[in-house]
Structure 1
Amino acid sequence: MKHSSITTSAAPLAMFDIWKAGLMAFELWSSSLTTIAMRQQMWQTQPFFSPSMMRENQRMVSEKMEASAEAGLVMQKTLINAMSGQYAPWWVTSQKAMKPYHRRSSANSRRLSR
């Protein structure tokens, strides 16, 4: 019989971390939808060549590229660590990979809602 990688003493802590990963994913999803809706409203109500829209579009693209680069680095570190025998549970890796997107999406949602 195979043994679980989570010992019984660490199981409640692991379940809490899994809960946090799910909560972070839900927050990312909801703040992303809010941000998309607010930007879409801006695109419908303002001319695309206005300076404020140009800044917002440039900010959107640069933030996505920065978040992608950060998440990619997290995944590379995870892969290198796994190749050297240091495994991280998926819920830890997923939180680290979502963090750049979550941070920016939450900030954009707050900023655009003002």
Structure 2
Amino acid sequence: MMDVWKLGVMMTELWTSSFSTIAMRHNLWQTQSPASARMIKENQRMVSEKIEAGMETGLVLQKAMLGMMFGQTTPWWVTSRRSMQPYHRRSSANSRRLSRK
């Protein structure tokens, strides 16, 4: 049951850090010129991080599917935590990084 609790905590942290990151980036888009080097770099970073996190999540899900094909079952809460980990890690790091500026 502790793993299910950890999943709930991770989901809450992901939600709150994503919300704060979106708000801070929205503020940057309103206060900075879209053609400035800082905004271009931030937008490129945002897109590349999302692609990387999506690829990592896809790999986790592929491993889970292969495990099921070979009879190795993994509880849903473990697979859920593993698949959300790349997004959680990046969202938390972005929230910390953007709040310092």
TM-score range, shorter chain: over 0.9
| Equivalences, count | 100
Q: Partners of 1:95 and 1:38 in 2: how far apart?
A: 26
Establish whether residue 36 from structure 1 lines up as the match of residue 22 from structure 2: yes
Tell me whether 1:110 sits opposite 2:100 in the alignment: no
CA radius of gyration, larger in: 1
SS in structure 2 at match of 1:47: coil
Q: Name which of 42, 52, 77 aligns with 1:66.
A: 52
Partner of 2:5: 19
1:37-56 residue pairs with structure 2 within 5 A? Answer: 37-56=23-42
More helix by share: 2
Aligned structure 1 segments of 4 or more residues deviating by more than 2 angstroms: none
TM-score relative to the length of structure 2: 0.98
Taking every aligned residue pair, what percent have the same amino acid on both sides? 64
Q: CA-atom RMSD, angstroms?
A: 0.3
Alignment TM-score, normalising by the size of structure 1 = 0.87
2-side partners of 1:74 and 1:62: how far apart?
Answer: 19
> Structure 2, unaligned stretches of length 5 or more?
none
Q: What residue identity is the alignment partner of 1:35?
A: T
Task: Return the alpha-carbon distance in structure 1 between the equivalents of residues 7 and 50 of structure 2.
Answer: 21
The letter of the residue matching 1:113 is S
